[in-house]
Amino acid sequence: MVDYVVYGRGCFNQLDEIIAPRRKDGRPMIFLVDHFFDGKPLVNRIPVRGNDKVIFADVTYEPKTTQVDKLSKQLKDEFGNISGVIGIGGGSTMDLAKAVSLMMTNPGSSADYQGWDLVKYPGVYKAGIPTLSGTGAEVSRTTVLTGPTRKLGMNSDFTPFDQIMLDPELAANAPANQRFYTGMDCYIHCIESLQGTYLNEFSKSYGEKALELCQYVFLQKDKWDDECDDKLMMASYAGGMSIAYSQVGVAHAVSYGLSYLLGTKHGIGNCIVMNHLHEYYKEGVDEFKRMVEKNKIDIPVGICKGLSDEQFDTMIGVSMGMKPLWENALGKNWEKIMTREKLRALYEKL
Ligand SMILES: NC(=O)c1ccc[n+]([C@@H]2O[C@H](COP(=O)([O-])OP(=O)(O)OC[C@H]3O[C@@H](n4cnc5c(N)ncnc54)[C@H](O)[C@@H]3O)[C@@H](O)[C@H]2O)c1
Ligand SMILES: [Fe+2]
């Protein structure tokens, strides 16, 4: 779990004070900031001291193992070692920060650690500051990376942040579409966790709360305001806690294939898939559709049109590889239920 959590409007202002005891002589703090904030006022509020460095993370594409390896090598070459990494941004930037922290102390390539419990050593100090709400990357024990052969996280006890700062003000100006897609990541985490076979009281307690908060902001509110940002940031946290002790399910397993082959982003990819999962999550999908309608969001259709057999096979391979997700969704005999043919038919609908 994350060791330290602060929450509240304006808590970003405490960053300097919070990281002060973590500074090591002569070693810089690295602020890895979502490139959206390049040239924005937030950058001037970052407590840069001594040889600290601000690096803008290009998150045009979701994080890759090559990008993580390049960043950590660059930091090793320039500084030898560093005091820590502070990731400020959406799920992509937070994942990059987690992975770079781990690769400052673990040998080889980040691709070597894609899987479960492969990371050997704790990374350098790492803190996460979300500017979009929904992924739960701020609390999870994974960092999702696209590598040479798969899209899979570095899942380990060393992966969670040492500190997170949840300041809803930072999410205030996110565009409505992006906010919805990332918010739906949280909603879908809740549906997949609450209807999964891995469910237990720990996951349920957090999942139910996150679900209630998502329903409030996306169905009950008529206008987006500060209260929505406050609530969605806590929904993301609780949704992340819920899957920490369970798993995600069909939407994520299928969406990973899209993302690997077509580069479809996580939030929107999940929405594209969720639209067609009535068979698995009936009530959740009905409610999801009401949210889409109420918030006037367009969900792309026809993205798999014209793909070759080989391309479908690639997606099916990536998706089928997510065994824990399928097992959570469909039970131990999932391979009998979700055959390659059935999955192909589902991809064709997208
Ligand atoms: N580690 C985990 O547990 C976990 C869980 C779910 C998803 N993820 C990962 O999270 C990523 C998706 O994250 P995301 O949905 O937060 O989006 P993102 O981080 O990919 O960012 C999406 C876009 O929003 C911009 N952006 C960020 N903050 C903004 C703000 N306040 N205002 C305006 N624009 C802003 C970014 O620059 C980017 O263009 C994927 O890479 C996915 O794999 C990780
Ligand atoms: Fe997700």
Mind giving me the DSSP string for 6-63?
EESTTGGGGHHHHHGGG--TTPPEEEEEEGGGTTSGGGGGS---TT-EEEEE--SS--
Of the bound ligands, which one is closest to the alpha carbon of residue 145?
1
**How many Å lie between the centroid of ligand 1 and the Cα of residue 315?**
22
**Phi then psi for 278, rounded to 5 degrees?**
-50, -40
CB 111, CB 67: distance < 8 Å: no
Angstrom distance (rounded) from CA 312 to CA 289: 26
Tokens representing residue 302 in the block: 């026809």
**How many Å lie between the centroid of ligand 1 and the Cα of residue 26?**
32
Run means of pLDDT, 10 residues per run, the chain, 350 residues: 97 98 96 98 97 97 97 98 98 98 98 96 98 97 91 94 98 95 98 97 98 98 97 98 94 95 96 97 98 96 96 96 95 97 97
Which residue has the CA at smallest separation from atom 42 of ligand 1? 266
**How many Å lie between the centroid of ligand 2 and the Cα of residue 187?**
9
Phi-psi region of 281 (alpha: psi -120 to 50; beta: other; left: phi over 0): beta
Tokens representing residue 341 in the block: 């043919």
Q: Which residues contact 223 (CB under 8 A, 6 or more apart)?
A: none
Of the bound ligands, which one is closest to the alpha carbon of residue 98?
1
- DSSP letter at 206? H
CB 82, CB 27: distance < 8 Å: yes
Angstrom distance (rounded) from CA 87 to CA 101: 10
**How many Å lie between the centroid of ligand 1 and the Cα of residue 68?**
16
Tokens representing residue 115 in the block: 């899987």
Which residue has the CA at smallest separation from atom 33 of ligand 1? 174
Give pLDDT, residue 231. 98
**Ligand 2 being an ion, which residues bring their Cβ within 5 A of it?**
185
Of the bound ligands, which one is closest to the alpha carbon of residue 159?
1
Give pLDDT, residue 122. 98
**How many Å lie between the centroid of ligand 1 and the Cα of residue 96?**
11
**How many Å lie between the centroid of ligand 1 and the Cα of residue 135?**
7
63 pairs with which residues across the strands?
A: none
- Judge if the beta carbon of residue 268 lies within 6 A of ligand 1: no
Of the bound ligands, which one is closest to the alpha carbon of residue 168?
1
- Judge if the beta carbon of residue 140 lies within 6 A of ligand 1: yes
